[in-house]
Amino acid sequence: MAYYLGIDTSNYTTSTALFDTDSYNMIQRKELLKVKDGQKGLRQSEALFQHVKALPILMEELCGSGVDIKAVGYSSKPRDAEGSYMPCFLAGEEAARCIAAVKGIPCYSFSHQAGHIAAALFSINKLQMIEEPFIAFHVSGGTTDVVLVKPDKDNLFKIEPLASSLDLKAGQVIDRVGLMLGINFPAGPELEKLALKSNRKFKVHPCLKGSDCCLSGLENICADMIKSGEPKCDVARFCLEYIKVTLDKMAQSVLDKIGRLPLLFAGGVMSNTIIKEFMTEKYGAYFAKPGFSSDNAAGIAALTKIKTEGL
């Protein structure tokens, strides 16, 4: 059996994954970082400390039987961009490099964003898409990015930025509005449940500058709705409808510029059914399956396998 190990230590999840290429089975073990009630997130020092504590436990659960690992990969930075860096990724890098050194196996570095894209493709059995250009949306608490993904001989694929949020990210707004509504961090799943209780229709006017978006105004609008006594379910619905329309306008803009290409949606926010149903119907877009949309190491394990032996 050939096993490939992936490790991802993002700001809010410690993730490990073991890709069994014989059965094409992805075994995952991950732990959500603990954020105190009422807080919006974690400092990098706190995140790094929690990763260091969680990794040995997850690795023992995943590889305790002594599996034959052929190669190991890890996420080393948030995005494939110059200057992209977060200290929390050091935990995964140290673990991966130590494992590789002891076992004498290859060790590969990827970005967290590349891992999200690969995890989405793996989950829908579309890894072969990396051999042709496509457009990917990476929408989470740390990014609201639209990128062009193109084949690259040296790095499997190349990620080129097309558009982004100029201020708050979609996941940040969802978590902040969730906290206003009494939902603990991370707020995404509970905010969606609340929004689905609303039957209200909204006319949304997103703020775009070219293909880029601005989302800080959404937080202010939701705060005003709460102050004026709007039902919580309507506030939640407006928040998600605003993000949906914003992503739609961004998609239209980039497609007008570079032509029709397949659309892939990845990242924790993209597990939202309101957004998924709309984008799938309008564009025939691909979405990561729920277990592969939030932060995970599955994409890193899949990329490690492809880097070692190809598709």
Q: What is the mean pLDDT of the chain?
A: 95
pLDDT greater than 80 at residue 40 = no
Residue with tokens 């570095």: 109
Q: What percent of the chain has pLDDT over 90?
A: 88
pLDDT tens by residue, 165-211: 999 999 999 999 999 999 988 899 999 999 999 999 999 999 999 99
At a CB cut-off of 8 Å and minimum separation 6, what does 39 contact? 185
Residue 162 · residue 147 · CB < 8 Å = yes
- Structure confidence at residue 147 as a pLDDT band (50, 70, 90): very high
pLDDT tens by residue, 224-283: 999 999 999 999 999 999 999 999 999 999 999 999 999 999 999 999 999 999 999 999
208 phi-psi bin (left φ>0, alpha ψ -120 to 50, beta other): beta
Give the pLDDT score at 64: 81
Domains of the chain: 3-124+292-309 (3.30.420.40), 170-287 (3.30.420.40)
H helix count then E strand count, the chain: 9, 12
Phi, psi of 299 (to 5 degrees): -65, -35
Give the pLDDT score at 15: 98
- Structure confidence at residue 39 as a pLDDT band (50, 70, 90): confident
Mean pLDDT value across residues 74-101: 94
